[in-house]
Amino acid sequence: MKRFKILITILLCTAYAFSQAPGKFSFQAVVRDANNALVANQSVSLLVNILQGSTSGNAVYVESHVAITNPNGLLTVTIGDGSVSAGSFADIDWSSGLYFLKVDIDPGGGNDYVITTVQQLLSVPYALYATESGNGFSGDYNDLSNRPQIPQIPVEISTFVNDAHYITAAQLNTLLDSLYNTIDSLRNMIEELGNMNPLPPVQDSVLLPTVSTLAVTNVTGYTAQCGGIISNDGGSSITARGVCWGTAPNPTISGNHTTDGVGAGSFTSLLVGLQQGTTYYVRAFATNSVGTAYGYSQTFTTQNDGFPCDTAFVTDYDGNIYNTVQIGQQCWMKENMRTSHYADGTLVAYHTTGGSAENGFLYSWSGMMHGAQSSNTNPSGVQGVCPDGWHAPSEVEWTQLLDYVSGQTQFVCGNDVQKIAKALTAQSGWNTTSNACAPGNDLNANNATGFSVLPAGEYINNYSNYGSRTYIWTTTQSSSTTAWNQFFSYINARVVRDSNIKDAFYSVRCLQN
């Protein structure tokens, strides 16, 4: 169980006029976690008990609250205004002995109260009793001794004389008019000097939104969940919202970010394409007509399953460098092969793709195999076009990869375990589509695994389908003239097991031995 520390400040405020007293007082608390970090911008539950006689006495009054801590971890509630579950605040007899305030707190906003504080109520709350005591005062000012002199009430506060010496409504309007005229003059000066586009007019009532960042949850080696709460739109519609993240403090929407709808209220975001064992900063954002506002940053560290794969770099005969990614118990290249030589230095036939070099080269099945026979073992034992220490994967090794991804709920789209293409495909290059869960629908949500499949296309007599398809060979033949491959399409939510002629030129991925 996560431990928390709490700094308690109680404000017991009463203000009464003769026989009247408010039946309430304020309670404030600053909540910190076990690392002394503020628990900021979070929903917190409180259970309030007023105990009679001792710290373990009977509860004469019980109420509950839900409050949101501010950026400094401070929460404030009014005791007497909560949801009452026992007793009546107005019926407490403050004259009948000692009373103690017991407060139980759940920093998670639920009913798991892990923080408890008990302290004696001292003199201030008993003012509620004092207002009812018989002090003999009639309530008539003239009955007081040593009466203070009451200053003369200003009589000209609505005139230009203004002997009350505060700003009248007329004076405030004059000041505002002067301020707006000054702003307009400055705007005109900037436009004239800089020959820039006209600036938008001053909007008196529109401000930046108010947004807070939710806690980070469901952290894996490659994904995490966060979100935000937009409590005020600033007077203008929220046109974009989400979270942004990076490895440096205070990330912005110019870097990695999600797109999670429009409008005020709460939202949930999924961060994908993360690296294992890495510390990230994340904060919510909201955009209206004035600009973009950010919540306070949260930090988290992705899991590390103990494999060094994500930090490894592989070099082929030509000197090309490949990044790697650990998925389950397999260490894969996260890029397609793009070498013109086998590891022994002999040339290999290939075709380039219609995209950039990061899409890799295209090889025929026999070119990938480099004289090896069909294999469907794990591992395949076929080095083929791969560098030393790596091999071309068999169909059964691809099945191991796909089964692992299907078994992880954070990689599955739409609760269909077969819909995992988005989790394996890159966030760029794909044509767009409205098909739900397809790689071409909302590219920012792709690549939760980090596998980074790009739409490299294919070569059969000519090059085609760049941006819409990619085929990746396995070492397993389906007949004397065909072999199995894995097929990804921008419109298909599933990875398709496909069989094609061995003379087709497709992409190749390599797997660590």
3-state secondary structure 179-229: HHHHHHHHHHHHHHHHCCCCCCCCCCCCCCCEEEECCCECCCCCCEEEEEE
Q: Tell me: pLDDT of 306 over 60.
A: no
Asked if residue 254 and residue 120 are part of one domain, the reply reads no
Of 100-114, 308-322, 332-346, where does mean pLDDT reach its minimum?
308-322
Q: Tell me whether residue 327 is in a domain.
A: yes
Q: Tell me whether residue 185 is in a domain.
A: no
pLDDT of residue 303: 81
Strand (E) or helix (H) holding 130? helix 127-130
By residue range, what is the domain housing residue 81? 4-130
pLDDT of residue 126: 52
Last residue of a domain, one of 130, 148, 172: 130
Give the pLDDT mean for 28-36: 78
Asked if residue 480 and residue 334 are part of one domain, the reply reads yes
SS3 at position 162 = coil
Q: Tell me: pLDDT of 164 over 70.
A: no
Of 158-162, 221-225, 494-498, where does mean pLDDT reach its minimum?
158-162
Q: Tell me whether residue 168 is in a domain.
A: no
Asked if residue 441 and residue 315 are part of one domain, the reply reads yes
Query: Exposed, middle or buried: residue 260 (CB in 10 Å: 0-12, 13-18, 19+)?
Result: middle
Q: Tell me: pLDDT of 214 over 50.
A: yes
Domain count, the chain: 3
What is the overall mean pLDDT for the chain?
A: 84
More confident call, 285 vs 414: 285
Asked if residue 434 and residue 318 are part of one domain, the reply reads yes
More confident call, 423 vs 37: 423
Q: Tell me: pLDDT of 335 over 70.
A: yes
- Structure-token pair, residue 72: 């400094």
Give the pLDDT mean for 452-478: 94
Per-residue model confidence as pLDDT tens digits over 348-365: 999 988 666 778 999 999
SS3 at position 30 = strand
- Residues 335-341: contacts with CB within 8 Å, 24+ apart? 335/360, 335/452, 336/360, 336/361, 336/454, 336/456, 336/472, 336/507, 336/508, 336/509, 337/361, 337/363, 337/385, 337/386, 337/507, 337/508, 337/509, 337/510, 339/385, 339/387, 341/316, 341/317
pLDDT bracket for residue 21 (50, 70, 90): very low
pLDDT of residue 95: 77
Per-residue model confidence as pLDDT tens digits over 390-414: 999 999 999 999 999 999 999 999 8
More confident call, 17 vs 455: 455
Of 31-40, 61-70, 79-88, 216-225, where does mean pLDDT reach its minimum?
31-40
Asked if residue 427 and residue 348 are part of one domain, the reply reads yes
Give the pLDDT mean for 451-457: 94
Q: Tell me whether residue 432 is in a domain.
A: yes
Asked if residue 348 and residue 321 are part of one domain, the reply reads yes
Distance CA(202)–CA(444), nearest Å, equals 35
- Give, rounded to a whole angstrom, the gap between the first and last alpha carbons of the chain: 40
